Amino acid sequence: MVDSTVREEHQGLSHILVDDHEWAWRFALGLWAVAGFLFVLMTITPIRDVIFAMDDWIYETTYPVKIGVVTGLAWFLNFIGGGLFAWPFRTVIALILAAKKRWEAFYAWLLALALSEPFIWLLKNLYGRERPPEALVEATSGSFPSGHAIGGAVMAVGLVVAFVPAGPERRNLEIVAAGFAFVMGGSRMYLGAHYLTDVISGVAFGAAAAIGAAVIVHRSFLRRFIKEREVAYRVLQARKS
């Protein structure tokens, strides 16, 4: 029984989701602030008009440029960011974490999805931004923010958090993961389905959800772990006396 408990504790502590709560939480809040700042600017008509003009100029400048290999990559990223691939993939990751009894990472994975997915449709319907006038892919929902960018950031950063122990090396991988999410969102710009600000706000929001979920879950597990150790210590001291 003791050996089993020790093994479980070692397994739980061998992969720490967050090693610096304050840094991670501030980083998540910073990303949420970036997304929130754009969300607010989109409600102020004069500023929104300037943003739309900038987005239109970028779209008109970049959309006509098409390269065969890049177009193929954009189509691939569009597929893996879509629901037909993303939801089965997310389910498989959740099952793997559950099978390995990595409950902390499991709950962080689910919480990241809960903090992001419901807001995609809510925000799209709230802002109701029209899509670019011409695209290589069909899209029916609102343009702002990019659901592919949000979902891509949650999956990419969430995977790094779930499978790479916390530390300086993982922070570099988290940046790479966020970069991948931006590339995925950029592929939607390339295909004509989104504007630049759709992608920036989506990546910031999705990455914040993944990192923030890890902090929230790890703090909860850590408090429970400390409380259980304190109770066990008091019981042991009572037995000795």
Domains of the chain, by residue range, sit at: 20-240
Q: 32-91 pLDDT, tens per residue?
A: 999 999 999 999 999 999 999 999 999 999 999 999 999 999 999 999 988 899 999 999
pLDDT confidence of residue 167? 75
pTM: 0.86
Instruction: For the chain, give the percent of residues with pLDDT over 90.
Output: 67
Q: 69-79 pLDDT, tens per residue?
A: 999 999 999 99
- Our CA dihedral for 113, 157, 215, 16, rounded to 10 degrees, sits at 120
- The ranges of the chain with pLDDT < 50 are 1-12, 233
